[in-house]
Homo-oligomer: A and B are copies of this chain.
Amino acid sequence: MKLVTAIIKPFKLEEVRQALTDLGLQGMTVSEVKGYGRQKGHTEIYRGAEYAVNFLPKVKIEVAVSSGDVSRAVEAIVAAAKTGQIGDGKIFVTSIEHSVRIRTGETDDTALS
């Protein structure tokens, strides 16, 4: 099993979710994160104080998939999340050694969804 972690632009979340669902991947976990990269931030001014805000709002999606589904998942995410503009984000694939569905105790691939 692999964990596919994608950092994307927030407004792309719904499209990515749809794309993954279309692949039959019906589970994922999402968090709001802030990203730093090539995409530049902005400056905020509050009365006399100026702050350079380097971090931009991003969404992190984590999808555990069986090893065979990885490349389809990655492709689907890329296709859905891409705008072509800087800051579209990254995908990282890591390895999951073991997984459990808490409700049933099922493990590994059967636990995934």
Find A3's partner among B74, B92, B111 (CB 8 Å cutoff).
B92
Q: Is A23 located at the chain interface by the 8 A CB criterion? A: no
Whether B102 contacts A78 by the Cβ 8 Å rule is yes
Interface size on A, residues (CB 8 A): 56
Q: How many copies does the complex hold?
A: 3
Q: Which of B38, B60, B64, B96 makes the CB contact (< 8 A) with A26?
A: B38
Q: Pick from B77, B82, B87, B99: contact of A90, CB below 8 A.
A: B99
The answer to whether A34 and B29 have CB atoms under 8 Å apart is: yes
Task: Please list the residues of chain A having a beta carbon within 8 angstroms of any beta carbon in chain B.
Answer: 1-3, 6-8, 17, 26-38, 54-55, 58, 60, 64, 70, 74, 77-78, 81-103, 105, 111-113
